Amino acid sequence: MMRTLRNLSLWMLLAGALLAWQTAMARELPDFTELVGEAAPGVVNISTTRVVESRNPFQGFGGEEVPEIFRHFFGDRFPVPPGQTPGKPQERQSLGSGFIISDDGYIMTNAHVVDGADEILVRLNDRRELPAELVGSDERTDVAVLKVDTDDLPTLRLGDSDNLEVGEWVAAIGSPFGFDHSVTAGIVSAIDRTLPRDAYVPFIQTDVAINPGNSGGPLFNLDGEVVGINSQIFTRSGGFMGLSFAIPINVAMDVADQLRNDGEVSRGWLGVMIQPVSRDLAESFGMDDPRGALVADLDPEGPAAASGLEAGDVILEVDGAPVHDSSTLPRLIGRTAPGSDVELELMRDGERRSLEVTLGDWPDSGNTPAGESRDSDQARLGVTVTELDAEQRERQGIEGGVRIVAVDPSGAAAKAGLRPGDILVSIDHQAVSSASELVTLASELPTDRAVPVRLYRDGRSLFVALRLTDD
């Protein structure tokens, strides 16, 4: 009997401890009810309509209107896909989200939500539907500003995305698949994330469930402040897979203010082509650790060239802000107004230097085609090279250089990543203008450290780190 009572007491103690633990855990988890109640009125649904020309069902047959074989079977009566009328424009609709940033009708969303739209309709939380005008959009940051003709709208409070920390709770409100004002929550997985083709946005990565229709909606911190615009997901299935990306609100508002005031976005332009600094390249430039942005080439008409920046310089700071890697530089320069003076801290020839540059305005860019190759000559380093004539050098915009026509797969050049067709213009900071000069310079290279090699590939300049062995 006593043993039974002791066992019962033990089970009661365990049950009490478990209940206390569950209660404590519940208190630790955030409650989003108050946040949603306050913020939901400022979140909107955005639907767009785009008119496209009806596609001929037989388009794609080499430009012929209808192949003769089909005329043989159908005469002049050709089948039309269901839902289409021959020759009649078709309407295509899409859905997204947005949020109100001012009570006089300005709304922020993603540029891709309204791209190409002929008609934009905004549905408010109170079920009113209002036509919207596109004030402006910026494809590079995927930010757009809309305007509806009404007053006294509920607005959202904007936070400071620079204060976000990895691991903190965030929530999203949007219209995934058209389900208005759906709420999802998660944590900040990473900050300052770089995505392909998005050099100007330091994305916030979260595990908040985002799906088609959430685009353009707000991302909130626990204080109910907007800290980002939900923009992209990484997916192999078309749906949410745990990787969501939001545009920081500080970046978005800078763009939105320019769109509201000027109708377009101006960005600072340095006029350089950059590449990452690898550990071997850092060693070859006399740096303790790999950081900064390596200048691989300069626009001869750009502000960097005019200010004395050189290929091979490693930019470490912009106005005191550290350049952690090559993806950081475009953001720091792009958010600075054209015409501004910025001070660059850089590494050149193993020494730190300061250089002031007056930024230009971002121009349209293009690629310079590569030149043609010639017959070969012999050089060291496991490469066979040929010299360039005056026309080829002029085409590349270079004064010297030799073209690599063959690479020994087991040589140092192959290990460094050099390829046939590359134009080698300098090695260990020494210009190369002929095959014999390359042989001389290569014979003097050290074997205890990596050295930088500058080359042109497909019309673009880049550096690689080459390390010789004692063999």
Distance between terminal CA atoms of the chain? Answer: 86
Return the DSSP state at 370.
P
Element (H, E) at 348: strand 341-348
Residue 289: both structure tokens together? 């650790």
Query: How far, in Å, CA of 238 to CA of 241, rounded?
Result: 9
Query: How far, in Å, CA of 249 to CA of 263, rounded?
Result: 19
CA distances 131 to 49, 96, 124, 157, 305, Å, are 11, 15, 11, 24, 48
Contact 316, 322 (CB under 8 A): yes
Contact 408, 414 (CB under 8 A): yes
Active site residues: 112, 142, 215
Residue with tokens 């015409």: 339
Residue 59: both structure tokens together? 């388009």
Q: Could you give the 3-state DSSP secondary structure of residue 111?
A: helix
Contact 396, 368 (CB under 8 A): yes
Nearest by Cα to 200 from 254, 160, 141: 141
Question: What DSSP letter does each residue of 412-450 carry, written as one string?
Answer: HHHHHT--TT-EEEEETTEE--SHHHHHHHHHT--SSSE
Q: Could you give the 3-state DSSP secondary structure of residue 82?
A: coil
Burial label, 76 (beta-carbon count in 10 A; 0-12, 13-18, 19+): exposed
Question: What DSSP letter does each residue of 256-316 carry, written as one string?
Answer: HHHHHHHSS---EE--EEEE---HHHHHHTT-SS--SEEEEEE-TTSHHHHHT--TT-EEE
β partners of residue 45: 97, 123
Nearest by Cα to 246 from 347, 72, 129, 99: 99
